[in-house]
Amino acid sequence: METDTKFERKLNAFLPLSEDERKCLAEMQSPPRTVKRGQQLTEEGQTGQHAFVLLVGWACSYKDLPNGSRQIISFPVSGDVVGLRSILLRTADHSFSTLTEATVSLVNAPNVLRCIHEHPRLGAALLWSASRDEAMVVEHLVNIGRRSAVERTAHLFLEFAERLLLIGEATASGFYCPLSQPVLGDALGLTPIHVNRILRRLREQGLMTLHDSWVQIHDYREMKKLSGFQGGYLEI
Amino acid sequence: METDTKFERKLNAFLPLSEDERKCLAEMQSPPRTVKRGQQLTEEGQTGQHAFVLLVGWACSYKDLPNGSRQIISFPVSGDVVGLRSILLRTADHSFSTLTEATVSLVNAPNVLRCIHEHPRLGAALLWSASRDEAMVVEHLVNIGRRSAVERTAHLFLEFAERLLLIGEATASGFYCPLSQPVLGDALGLTPIHVNRILRRLREQGLMTLHDSWVQIHDYREMKKLSGFQGGYLEI
DNA sequence: CGCTGGTTTGAAGGTCGTCAAGAAGGGTGG
DNA sequence: CCACCCTTCTTGACGACCTTCAAACCAGCG
C-alpha cells in the first residue's frame, strides 16, 4: 500500500476525487520523512509553521501550561492532518509531537491555499476533514467537562476503536494503542495514578483491557452505555 | 452603525476587503431577524442546518448529554459566526441557543461555498475566522482539563474582557455579561453552587465582581497570574 | 549494572458535588 | 394589586471523587 493512501482514501470517501485532484493532493505534500518517537514537530507560539499529514504512526497535539502540566488536544492517527487550523493564524496555537516512530509529510500554507483555489472540490474535502477534526475536539471538551473519570476513559477508548476501525487498523480482537498512562492522563485531565485505578476498574468489571499497548473491548454494549458514547461525530 | 458592521470589521481587520468582497459578504447573509432570549436556533443531530452571524446579543453553542447535563462549547458575541463547522458535516454537531434577545442573520451552505469560490480572499478571511474560533475551543478544553475551578473561572472572564474589548463592548469600568451561574457552570464543567463559591472567593480577594450582569475586573495583573491567561489565541 | 520511565498499590487530604433550605426578583393569573 | 409561581442567588453540612505523597516492582537502555 502506498504511504499516502489512507489520507487520500479518507477524503475520497467523503467526495470521490478525480485524477487531477488526486494529483494535486499528492503535489501539495512534501516527500514523506521518518521521525523518531517523542519528536516535537511544531511548537506553540512559533510563526510560519507547517501542517503535516501523518502517514504512519501515532502522535498528539497539545498545549503546555505555565504551571508545568499539559493538556493533550487530540491524537491524530494514520491518514490524519495536523495543524491545518494554524495555517491562517499568525502563530501556531498548539504543539505537536510524535508518540511512536512515524512518517509524515509536510504541507505548507501556500500549497494548501493554491490547492483550494485550483480545485474547489478538493478544498471542500479538506474543509470537511478539518470540520470532522474539530468535532472531535468538541466531543473531547464535552468528555472532560461533563463526564466522570470512568465514563471519560471508556469514551476515549470507544472513540479510538471506532476511528481505527474506519481506517482498517482495528479488528475484532482489539487494536494497537501505544499510550502510556501519563499520556492518557494528560488527555483525560487526570493524574496517571488515577488513570491506573480507572483502568483497573474497567478490567475488573470485564469491560476492557489495555496491556502491552494492546486494547481489547470485551463488553462493547456496556462500555457504550456507561460512557454515553454516540459516534455520530465520526461519521463520514 | 449598521447591523452587520462588526462581522465585516472583524474580517476586514484580518484582511482588508474590496468593495466587491464586502458586497458578496452582505449578499451571503439573509436579512437580519430578531429572536427572543432562550431560543434554540440549531439542534444537534439535525441535517441541513444553517450557519448564523450573530449581529447583536449573546448566545451559546452546546451539547446535551444522555444523562441530562450539558456542556457549553462557546459563547459567540456580536460579530461572531456560529455553525460554519457544521456546514460540511452531514449533521450539526452541536446545538445553538440565544442567551439574550438577539438579532441574527442566516447563512446557508451553498452561499458560503459560492462566496469562497468567487472571492478566494474572502474565503481565506472566513477560514481565518473559523480557525480563531477553533483556537478558542481548544483553549476552553485546556481550561477545563488542566485548571482548577478558580483558575478556570478567572480565565473565562479574562477571555471575555479581551474579546469584548476588541469589538469595543468593554470599557475600563467593566462589561455587560448576562450569564447566570448555572450557565457559567455548564461552560466551566462545575455545579452552579460551586460557581457561586468561586465567584465569592474572587470577590473577597478583590480580584473581580459579577453583579447585575456587570463584570468588573479589579486586579487584572493578579487575575492573569492566577489563571495563567495568555491571550495570544485571540489576536488578529 | 545503575538509571530512567512506566505500572501498581496504599494512605491521607483537598476540591468539588450533593443535599437541603432560605431569600430575592420577575412573570403570570387571579 | 396581590398571590403564586419559577428561576436564580446564597449559605451550610456532608460525602465522594480525585489528587498528592510515598514506595515497591518491572522493563528497557546506556
Q: What percent of chain A has pLDDT over 70?
A: 98
Going by pLDDT thresholds of 50, 70 and 90, the confidence category of residue B3 is low
Instruction: Answer yes or no: is pLDDT of A2 > 60.
Output: no
How far apart (Å, rounded) are the C-alpha atoms in residues A154 and A149? 9
Please tell me which residue of chain A has the smallest CA distance to B109: A124
pLDDT confidence of residue B4? 64
Report the 10 Å Cβ neighbour count for B219: 14
| Distance between A29 CA and the closest CA of chain B, angstroms | 20
By C-alpha distance, which of B80, B83, B85, B87 is closest to B102?
B80
Give the single-character DSSP code of A10. Answer: H
pLDDT confidence of residue B108? 86
Q: Which of residues 26 through 85 in chain A touch B, CB cutoff 8 A? A: 45, 63, 65-67, 69-71, 73, 85
Instruction: Answer yes or no: is pLDDT of B2 > 60.
Output: no
* B69 phi/psi in degrees, rounded to 5: -85, 175
Going by pLDDT thresholds of 50, 70 and 90, the confidence category of residue A100 is very high
pLDDT confidence of residue A159? 98
Angle between helix B192-204 and B181-188 (nearest 10): 100
Q: In this complex, is the C-beta atom of B172 within 8 Å of any C-beta atom belonging to chain A?
A: no
Instruction: Answer yes or no: is pLDDT of B98 > 90.
Output: yes
Residue A185 region by backbone torsions, left for phi larger than 0, else alpha for psi between -120 and 50, else beta: alpha
Using CB atoms, pick whichever of A65, A71, A142 lies closest to residue B71: A142
Please tell me which residue of chain A has the smallest CA distance to B132: A89
3-class DSSP state of B223: helix
pLDDT confidence of residue A88? 82
pLDDT confidence of residue A3? 54
Query: Is residue B14 within 8 Å of residue B125, measured between CB atoms?
Result: yes
3-class DSSP state of A154: helix
Residues of chain B with Cβ-Cβ distance to A145 below 8 Å are: 71, 144, 188-189
Please tell me which residue of chain A has the smallest CA distance to B149: A145
Q: In this complex, is the C-beta atom of A225 within 8 Å of any C-beta atom belonging to chain B?
A: no
Q: What is the residue type of A84? A: L
Residues 6+ apart with CB under 8 A from B111: B27, B28
Weakest mean pLDDT among A111-120, A172-181, B62-71: A111-120
Q: Which tens digits make up the pLDDT trace of A181-216?
A: 999 999 999 999 999 999 999 999 999 999 999 999
Contact B89 A141 (CB under 8 A): no
Q: What percent of chain B has pLDDT over 90?
A: 75
Q: Which of residues 112 through 171 in chain A touch B, CB cutoff 8 A? A: 113, 116-117, 120, 123-124, 127-128, 131-132, 134-135, 137-142, 144-147
Instruction: Answer yes or no: is pLDDT of B127 > 70.
Output: yes
Instruction: Answer yes or no: is pLDDT of B1 > 70.
Output: no
Q: What is the mean pLDDT of residues B181-209?
A: 97
pLDDT confidence of residue A211? 94
Residue from B70, B127, B188, B223 to probe the interface with A (highest A Cβ count within 10 Å):
B127
Cα B159 versus chain centre, distance: 10
Using CB atoms, pick whichever of B87, B134, B144 lies closest to residue A145: B144
Please tell me which residue of chain B has the smallest CA distance to A135: B93
Using CB atoms, pick whichever of A88, A135, A146 lies closest to residue B65: A146
The vertex-A102 CA angle with A101 and A105, nearest 5°, equals 155
Q: Which tens digits make up the pLDDT trace of A9-40?
A: 999 999 999 999 999 999 999 999 999 999 99
Q: Which tens digits make up the pLDDT trace of A43-73?
A: 998 888 789 999 999 999 999 999 999 999 9
> Which nucleotide lies nearest residue B191, CA to C1'?
C17
Instruction: Answer yes or no: is pLDDT of A155 > 90.
Output: yes
Say yes or no: Cβ of B191 under 7 A from any atom of strand C: yes
Going by pLDDT thresholds of 50, 70 and 90, the confidence category of residue A4 is low
Weakest mean pLDDT among B101-110, B189-198, B204-213, B215-224: B101-110
Q: How far is the CA of A108 from the C1' of C4 (A)?
A: 37
Contact B141 A142 (CB under 8 A): no
Contact A131 B45 (CB under 8 A): no
pTM for this predicted structure: 0.95
How far apart (Å, rounded) are the C-alpha atoms in residues A178 and B205? 45
| Distance between A49 CA and the closest CA of chain B, angstroms | 14
